[in-house]
Amino acid sequence: MANIGFIGLGNMGGPMAANLVKAGHQVSVFDLSEVALAHAVEHGAQRAESAVACVDNAEFVISMLPAGKHVAGLYLGNGIDAGLLEVIKTGALVIDSSTIDAQTSINVGKALAQKGIDFIDAPVSGGVGGATAGTLSFMVGGSDACFNRAQPILANMGKNIFHAGEHGAGQIAKVCNNMLLSVLMVGTSEALQLGIANGLDPKVLSEIMSKSSGSNWTLDVYNPCPNVMPNVPSSNNYQGGFMVDLMAKDLGLAMDTAVHSQSSTPMGALARSLYTMHASAGNGKADFSSIFKLFDKQS
């Protein structure tokens, strides 16, 4: 079993670290939140008093952080504190599962390589439910050798592990996936609201579309209409799941990626505008399926 340092114990990182403990690994954890640290310790992880202490003698270092600036600051330094590249042992493999811009992943990977430290970007899909169940999808950017080395560790946290390409490729795959997810959620929401506005039962309409050409994941697995499907955020007042603020962030990354490659993404741009507007109306902490309410004629 491996000696793993895990930094970032939020809604996703906490369950991921717990699954590594379940798999028998020695897992040292660090987070700025005392509550998150205590919860991880309850699940068998070892508490570290700092990020530096967390990576001491670690064979694998895993991070799950909010944004690119946090990842760059953690590994490369922030002008005040030295980055972890100065203390992670030579030959260790860093696995960053944050969803950030591809260029930051590339920069971090290059800097770590100069210190003899391997790196992959490995953002995830599957939400909190997937993190808890250990069924996440990992989209990996890095060399073949690093991908092969990481696979047994990632398999303790996920079900589907894809090698997208070199450094940064995992991040690009992730933003493409989430851009499509947002477009599907918006389309599903407005179609259901159109049916409701014209007297259809949303459960019946959902079943019709699910068995027809309109079938898609947001309709079949994560229905945005309350009380159509149990055990999804829409039937729990849009609590849990993947926050609107995070979807808006990921759509911003997708648009930055599109600008960089001069790609045309009109549907993604519209989805970003809608999610940004939805967040600005006070829905940022709600699940992203709450975009359904934006199309409610009675709201």
Whether 171 contacts 105, CB under 8 Å: yes
Segment (H or E) for 5:
strand 3-7
Catalytic residue among 174, 211, 249, 293: 174
Instruction: Give me 115's structure tokens.
Output: 């210190």
Q: Known catalytic residue: 203?
A: no
Whether 234 contacts 224, CB under 8 Å: yes
Distances (CA, A) of 254 to 151, 260, 261: 26, 10, 11
| Cα–Cα distance for residue pair 168/164, rounded to 1 Å | 9
Distances (CA, A) of 53 to 29, 112, 230: 9, 18, 43
Whether 76 contacts 109, CB under 8 Å: no
| Cα–Cα distance for residue pair 169/84, rounded to 1 Å | 23
Catalytically active residues are: 174
